[in-house]
Amino acid sequence: MQKVNLLYLSQEDIVSLNIGWDTIINAVERALIEHSNGTVENPPKRGVHTRPDCFIHEMPVYLKNMDACGIKWVSGYPSNREKGLPFILGVQVMNSAETGAPYCIMDCRWLTGVRTAAVTAATAKRFGRKDSKVLSIVGGGVQGKMHLRALKHVLPGLEECRVYDKFGNVAEGFVDEMSREFPEMLIKQYPKTEMLIPDSDLIFTLAGASLADYPFMPDMDLPKGVLAGSIESARSWPARVCHSADKYITDDLVSTISFGEECYPGGFPEWTAQTGDVISGKKPGRESDDEIVLAFNWGLACEDISLGWDIYNAAKEKGVGTILPLMQTDI
- Name the residue range of residue 210's domain: 120-300
Query: Pick from 237, 221, 238: which is nearest to 229 by CA?
Result: 237
251 shares a domain with 306: no
CATH number at residue 62: 3.30.1780.10
Under the banding of pLDDT at 50, 70 and 90, the label for residue 210 is low
Q: From CA 131, how far away is CA 22, in angstroms rounded? A: 21
Q: Looking at the 3D structure of the chain, how many domains does it have?
A: 2
Q: From CA 194, how far away is CA 222, in angstroms rounded? A: 11
Has residue 211 got a pLDDT over 60? no
222 shares a domain with 172: yes
pLDDT tens figures, 54-91 = 999 999 999 999 999 999 999 999 899 899 999 999 99
Q: Which residues pair with 204 in a beta bridge?
A: 137, 229
Q: Is 47 exposed, middle or buried (0-12, 13-18, 19+ CB in 10 A)?
A: middle
pLDDT tens figures, 257-303 = 887 888 888 888 899 999 999 999 999 999 999 999 999 998 999 99
164 shares a domain with 211: yes
Q: From CA 309, how far away is CA 1, in angstroms rounded? A: 27
Pairing of strands 227-230, 293-296: parallel
Q: From CA 164, how far away is CA 148, in angstroms rounded? A: 13
168 shares a domain with 104: no
281 shares a domain with 136: yes
213 shares a domain with 90: no
CATH number at residue 187: 3.40.50.720
* DSSP codes joined into one string, 211-254: GGG---S-S-PPPTT-EEEESBTBTTS-HHHHT--SEEEES-HH
283 shares a domain with 206: yes
313 shares a domain with 180: no
Residue 246 contacts residue 219 (beta carbons within 8 Å):
no
Q: From CA 71, how far away is CA 246, in angstroms rounded? A: 35
Residue 97 contacts residue 62 (beta carbons within 8 Å):
yes
Residue 178 contacts residue 145 (beta carbons within 8 Å):
yes
126 shares a domain with 273: yes
133 shares a domain with 104: no
166 shares a domain with 20: no
Can you give the pLDDT at residue 312? Answer: 99
293 shares a domain with 218: yes
Q: How far is CA 118 from the centre of its chain?
A: 6
pLDDT tens figures, 19-58 = 999 999 999 999 999 999 999 999 999 999 999 889 999 9
Q: From CA 288, how far away is CA 91, in angstroms rounded? A: 41
pLDDT tens figures, 152-200 = 999 999 999 999 999 999 999 999 999 999 999 999 999 999 999 999 9
Task: Say if residue 198 is preceded by a cis peptide, omega within 30 of 0.
Answer: no
Has residue 209 got a pLDDT over 80? no
